[in-house]
Structure 1
Amino acid sequence: MTHPRTPAKDAYTLILEAIDQGVYRPGDRLVESELADRFGVSRTPIREALQRLETQSLLARDGRSLIVASLDHNQMAELYVVRTELEGLAARLAARHATDEEVQVLRDMVTEDRALLGDPGALARANRRFHRMIHLASHNRYLVQQLDLVHRSMALMATTSLAAEGRGEVALAEHQAIVDAVGRRDGAAADKALREHISVAFVTRLKLDSRQPG
């Protein structure tokens, strides 16, 4: 009996995931030959993927080299404005359309993520999974697509707000408030809780960045 094979990830997805996971950080140079060796693919799809990522402003030119782009203060502020609006809408729609099973998964995520306190990297990955579940629970494919684009750009930030002392515990409490509102089918409360969650994360990130050497 033959088993269906899982489709191999394309070069674009592999590079995007590496940036999202922090393998490549803002300012890092991406070299075709090194990427081809790392991912075990030929240089042609790597070159096409790099061109696509540059078009999407996830990569930038530094002379003849391509580097992972970074966001300046204004770009980050603009991104958070868009993220706040879209995430608030996702929470509101999730309160209306999420299945009971999706709500249970969200509750389980909050509970299980408490074990990750003290590990900012793991907590950041769990945070992305939580938000992704909210997006999917909205049951609006076009909103999910736009939020995917926003979260790709979030990977261009050099730090995670969850690295701030005490932020992990507060963030999980905020997640709990979001889930509780979704579970009550209270769209206005879910929208408000998620917007407040992002606002606190933004303030935390600004404080972290202000401490970085200029």
Structure 2
Amino acid sequence: MQQRDAYGLILEAIDVGQYRPGERLVENELAERFGVSRTPIREALQRLETQGLLTRDGRSLIVASLDHNQLAELYIVRAELEGLAARLAARHATVEEVKVLGDMVEEDRALIGDPSALSRANRRFHTQIHLASHNRYLVQQLNLVHRSMALLASTSLAAEGRGEDALAEHANIVEALREGDGEAAEAALKVHISKAYETRLKLDAARIETQG
């Protein structure tokens, strides 16, 4: 139990940006921070390294970062798997599940202007679609993909106007699910992922230009 707790605590800290790509993770500091002994921390770090979320810099373990090609690969896989989840959800989601998704879109409008909160809400929305696919193997694969999304140093929802656009795209997905139209749901979700990727590329280009 303690090992799983240590793994979950470190993973969540990376996910919410407490540890960003390139930051060093020190065993004894993590043990002190989370109130866990060093053995489960060490095992959790090894597991995260195996999964590619941590990488070695000399003798130190640091939070991994994604290069341009890895980012492209991640978004390609994400679009295909999430598109499949939406198509299956259109077929298998209960009326209640679709209603919850619709309620999320309405409630999340209050978060526009707060990219961090909107990012967490976006993750909840996507997770709900994954679950609504009612395919446990697909959910497992999407969990891995979204774990890798934690290695992105910022959210594309921080771009000006992206929050409003993303919620409009969410609304289109929900409408297709409500109609039980698998093809439309898949297409709407793929458009949503494509727009997010495009925004992230623009943000990265602007950051590189600033650094140059």
Shorter-chain TM-score tier: over 0.9
SS in 1 for 2:62: strand
Describe the superposition over 1:31-86 as per-residue Cα deviations: whole angstroms up to 9, x where unpaired. Answer: 01111111110000000000000001100101110000000000000000000000
Report the residue type matching 1:67 in the other structure: I
State the Cα RMSD in Å.
1.0
Q: Which amino acid aligns with 2:190?
A: R
Question: 1:142 aligned to 131, 137, 140, which one?
Answer: 137
Deviations 1:122-167, CA, capped at 9 Å, x for gaps: 0000000000000000000000000000000011011111000000
Pairing partner for 1:102 from 82, 97, 103: 97
1:70 is the counterpart of 2:81 = no
Q: Are 2:124 and 1:129 aligned?
A: yes
Residue identity in the other structure for 1:155: A
1:37 corresponding residue in structure 2: 32
Partner Cα distance (2:134, 2:7) in 1: 26
Q: Does 1:211 align with 2:172?
A: no
5 Å-filtered alignment, 1:1-214, equals 10-212=5-207, 213-214=211-212
Whole-angstrom distance in 2 between the partners of 1:40 and 1:159? 28
Superposition deviation, residue 100 in structure 1 = 0.6
Matching residue's letter, 1:74: N
> Which of structure 1's runs of 4+ aligned residues deviate more than 2 A?
none
Letter in 2 for 1:125: R
The CA distance in 2 between the partners of 1:73 and 1:158, in whole Å, is 13
> 2:96 is paired with a residue of what secondary structure?
helix
Amino acid in the other structure paired with 1:93 = L
More helix by share: 2
Q: Distance in 1 between matches of 2:13 and 2:203?
A: 23
Shift of 1:10: 1.1
Q: Kindly provide the amino acid, as one letter, of the partner of residue 5 in structure 2.
A: D
| % same residue | 78
Matched letter for residue 97 of structure 2: E
TM-score by length of 2: 0.96
Aligned partner of residue 173 in structure 2, secondary structure: helix
